Amino acid sequence: MNKKLFSELELFQDEISKIFKENPLKLIKFSAILKSIFKNLNVDEGLKNEVLILLCKGLVFNKKTFRNIPNLEQLINEYENSNVALLDYSKCFFAKAISKIFNEKISKYKNEAARRLFLRDLCELTDVLHPLSLEKLLIKIDKLQANERTNALFIEFINNLEELIYSKWNPDLEVEKKIDEAQNEIDVYIARMENLSGFKRGSIGNYQEGLIIHCFFDPWFDEKSPLWGVSFYPILNILNLQPPYIFFDVLRRGLLAREAAHFFTPTIMEKMEKAYEQMDYCAYKILDDFEAEFWEFARHGLREESKQFDGINYYLEWEAIIGKDFLNNLFSRLKSISRFRAEIDFSEYQSIVDSLALKPKRIELNQEELSLLSFLSEKPLASVSELSQKSGLTIPTVQKLLKTLKLKANIWPSLLVDLNKLNIKCFLVFLKVNPRILNELINIIWLFPYCGRIYKVFGETNMLCYFQIPSKNEDFIHEYLSILKRMDLIEKTFLFKVEDFYYNFNPRFYDANIHDWNVPWDEWGLWLKEYLLTKGWLHAIKGKKEQKRKIKINRIDLEIIRLLRVNARYPFSELGLKLGVSGAYIGQRVRNLINSKVITPTIASFRIGLDESIFAVFDCKEEELTAIKSAFDELPMWQGFKISGDMEGLASMIYVPTGEVQELLYAINKYLIESKIVNKFMIHIIERWTGMRRWLPTELYTSDGEWIFNKEEYLERLKEEIEKLNEK
């Protein structure tokens, strides 16, 4: 650490220590000392409850209170010099100083990317408020100083801290005002939760009228609690905001919003793992704009596990898929299930959400939204300014419409990835499995790290697996399937090797006047027939064949692709922060991947009335494949693969407007099957929302550009898991 700064911090600590000793023994100071005392004392539950009740009454030590703690007056005098109590008290100053930075600067950020960068950096500074040891706190400060942006914030923080010390600020004199603000805020958030959930307060969850906000250091607060920052005492109906958070306005509001969501959480999921993720999402929804953006970064506290899971976007995607009444539908199901179940685990919770996702959803787009969607389908990475120029709309209007499309229609900017260029061979495998063991076998196959997707399908088979295997080991798939066959787990298999990848989204058949799709299936079928008969498409394939060349990539490239597949419009600056490199480097790598045709940006809208899909495989010649692909490009949305293996031709997942599967099947039968354009075919209905999906296991990619592939280990584990299954 910078010696000058270290000396300055020591001086600040000395000055705060003087203020601490000079200030009278009021609740914040007293509870900080009590917390320090009880760290070294073992007390029974009865005494704990008595102390908490007295603190909740706002009482501090005198001759009439706290009489059951021997030698308390002596202990207070002794622990007033404790570094632990002083550090806790100092963090109230830290919170006030950081709050000033947010309040003064947030309105100045008009650019969203710059604002989010500021909020992320401020969140890094906010870590000094959490219950870290002095050693870890100093390490954190070192880290803040090592970065130019966070160091600038840290200097502002130091200046604000200096002002507070100079004015001899006393947290105990301001806390009542902050408690009043918090009391009003929790009332607002409870009302907003009623609107968000569709349930009145008290009709679900554990909310009780007359909730009181308080603020003191709880001596026995579990600092590693998933619901960090607050303690709730249900018998007293008191919500205690732990200092110092009450003095950081925007963080206090985030914690209160989360607790409002907690009061509406169905009791059946109280003990469920990751239940706090739903609360964090609800808090994000009911907070005001800038506060919600900050909460997205600051919500973790000391929770390391939640930093690995993008819970807010996880729930936002389900909301986009299911609709704005997602939470009401989910809570209604959970409340109903609680009639016969006391608890629910995460897998059961996930099944409920999956079930809700399968319900059709009709979205109404207006002409402006449709125009923007059309432009994005042509150029998914078009900038906001470019979209503004093309559409004739102002930049703020375009920004607003993009947010609306994301939430309203689940617009998903993603990537089509040519895995052949990453030394990966892909295989589609259809399996007919005994229905009795279908779920267990899905879980067993998912243990293989190079399995990228598994879907349940309905038709000639009942499971579809998508394997992504390093090129050097592509024969492995045959050994893997032969074990499944030998163990009598599968009745039938179809194996297809992926030679090429296709995708297209085409909103031209969406009619904004009727707010629905209007696909002329008869016209499309006749056009396909004419297209095939006249061979007008032959010019499209002449001279187009090219040798697929491998390109040199590194692990960061794979991580970039992983993140851009989730959101291809992710700001490069934020990607750089996630991956520990500059935004400029990210931009360079992305351009290289696009120019090398490893990735192709795409746009999709899975909840724009395209709620039904089929997975069709056609055995046909390459000329017919090219024609069929061109015809499918005219439909609203499809994804496909050029395949070889048990059939040579095209595998395709086709998305159609709700209720129009029969029309698609009729056109396929009439113009592809009856006319003998295809030799063989296989058609399944697919459960696309409830499938399992993941990216390549980038942790198995070495710095030498090779994939780690433990063939014998994977096969042995498969055998072991199957033997366990057969023993059941």
The answer on 619 and 571 residing in a single domain is no
List the domain range (segments joined by +) for residue 248.
Answer: 176-357
Contacts with 704 (C-beta within 8 Å, 6 or more apart), sequence order: none
Residue corresponding to tokens 């169905």: 266
The answer on 405 and 432 residing in a single domain is no
The answer on 586 and 473 residing in a single domain is no
Structure tokens that stand for 159 in this block? 């200046």
pTM here is 0.74
The H helix count followed by the E strand count for the chain is: 28, 16
Residue corresponding to tokens 């309105």: 107
Could you give the number of structural domains in the chain? 5
Identify the three-state secondary structure at position 198: coil
Average pLDDT over residues 4-32: 82
Instruction: Report the candidate in 519, 507, 518, 526 with the shortest Cα–Cα distance to residue 667.
Output: 526
Instruction: Report the candidate in 463, 409, 412 with the shortest Cα–Cα distance to residue 439.
Output: 463
DSSP assignment of 388-413 equals HHHHT--HHHHHHHHHHHHHHH-EEE
> What angle in degrees, to the nearest 10, is found between the helix axes of 326-337 and 171-197?
90
Does residue 616 lie within any of the structural domains? yes
The answer on 572 and 541 residing in a single domain is no
The answer on 484 and 380 residing in a single domain is no
- 8 Å CB contact between 244 and 227: no
Q: Which helix (H) or strand (E) holds 452?
A: strand 451-458
Q: Distance between CA 249 and CA 231 in Å, rounded?
A: 18
β-sheet bridge partners, residue 432: 492
The segment with the largest mean pLDDT, out of 11-20, 146-155, 355-364, 454-463, is 454-463
pLDDT at 544 over 70: no
Give residue 617's pLDDT. 97
The answer on 144 and 33 residing in a single domain is yes
Q: Distance between CA 485 and CA 492 in Å, rounded?
A: 8
Average pLDDT over residues 154-164: 93
Distances (CA, A) of 456 to 35, 79, 579: 55, 63, 34
Give residue 359's pLDDT. 75
- 8 Å CB contact between 471 and 425: yes
Question: Where residue 229 falls among pLDDT bands split at 50, 70, 90?
Answer: very high
Q: Model confidence over 255-311: pLDDT tens digits? A: 999 999 999 999 999 889 889 999 999 999 999 989 999 999 999 998 888 887 778
The answer on 314 and 278 residing in a single domain is yes
- CA torsion 84-90-96-102 (nearest 10°) is -70
Helices within 360-490 (DSSP H only): 367-378, 384-391, 395-409, 438-446, 476-486
DSSP assignment of 12-23 equals HHHHHHHHHHHS
Identify the three-state secondary structure at position 616: strand
Lowest-confidence range among 12-26, 325-339, 473-487, 531-545?
531-545
Residue corresponding to tokens 């990317």: 113
Identify the three-state secondary structure at position 675: coil
Q: Which helix (H) or strand (E) holds 470?
A: strand 463-470
The answer on 619 and 505 residing in a single domain is yes
Q: Distance between CA 410 and CA 610 in Å, rounded?
A: 11
Name the E strands within 237-295: 238-241
One-letter amino acid at 239 equals L
Q: What is the b/e burial string over 302-326, where b = at least 16 CB atoms within 10 angstroms of the residue's CB?
A: ebeebeeeebbeebbbbbbbbbeeb
Pairing of strands 490-505, 637-645: antiparallel
Does residue 602 lie within any of the structural domains? no
Q: Model confidence over 234-262: pLDDT tens digits? A: 999 999 999 999 999 999 999 999 999 99
pLDDT at 538 over 70: no
pLDDT at 545 over 70: no
CATH of the domain at 453: 3.30.70.3460
Does residue 195 lie within any of the structural domains? yes
Does residue 713 lie within any of the structural domains? no
Helices within 550-657 (DSSP H only): 555-566, 572-579, 583-595, 622-632
Mean residue pLDDT across the chain? 88
Q: Distance between CA 667 and CA 614 in Å, rounded?
A: 13
Contacts with 671 (C-beta within 8 Å, 6 or more apart), sequence order: 525, 526, 528, 529, 532, 677
Does residue 647 lie within any of the structural domains? yes
The answer on 239 and 140 residing in a single domain is no
Identify the residue with better confidence: 253 or 699: 253
Give residue 543's pLDDT. 43
3-state secondary structure 541-557: HCCCCCCCCCCCCCHHH
Does residue 601 lie within any of the structural domains? no
Structure tokens that stand for 12 in this block? 């600040």
Give residue 608's pLDDT. 80
Average pLDDT over residues 537-563: 67
Last residue of a domain, one of 171, 188, 212: 171
β-sheet bridge partners, residue 182: none
The answer on 208 and 305 residing in a single domain is yes
Q: CA 607, 664, 353 angle in degrees (round to 5)?
A: 30
Question: In 10 A of CB 482, how many CB atoms?
Answer: 12
One-letter amino acid at 568 equals A
Q: What is the b/e burial string over 17-32, where b = at least 16 CB atoms within 10 angstroms of the residue's CB?
A: bebbeebeebbbbbbb
The answer on 107 and 73 residing in a single domain is yes
Q: Model confidence over 632-691: pLDDT tens digits? A: 999 999 999 999 999 999 999 999 988 899 999 999 999 889 888 888 999 999 876 667
Instruction: Taking the CA atoms of 619, 624, 629 and 631 in sequence, report the sign of the dihedral they define.
Output: negative
Contacts with 359 (C-beta within 8 Å, 6 or more apart), sequence order: 322
Does residue 13 lie within any of the structural domains? yes
Identify the three-state secondary structure at position 609: coil
The answer on 668 and 649 residing in a single domain is yes
CATH of the domain at 336: 1.10.390.10
- 8 Å CB contact between 380 and 602: yes
Residue 685 phi, psi dihedral angles, 5° rounding: -85, 140
Question: Where residue 7 falls among pLDDT bands split at 50, 70, 90?
Answer: low
- 8 Å CB contact between 431 and 484: yes
CATH of the domain at 571: 1.10.10.10
- 8 Å CB contact between 653 and 501: no
DSSP assignment of 64-131 equals SSSTTSTTHHHHHHHHTT-HHHHHHHHHHHHHHHHHHHHHHHGGG--SHHHHHHHHHHHHHHHGGGS-
Instruction: Report the candidate in 289, 229, 219 with the shortest Cα–Cα distance to residue 256.
Output: 229
Does residue 121 lie within any of the structural domains? yes
Last residue of a domain, one of 140, 171, 202: 171
One-letter amino acid at 506 equals N
- 8 Å CB contact between 470 and 709: yes
Question: Where residue 50 falls among pLDDT bands split at 50, 70, 90?
Answer: confident
Q: Distance between CA 461 and CA 481 in Å, rounded?
A: 15
Residue 81 phi, psi dihedral angles, 5° rounding: -95, 5
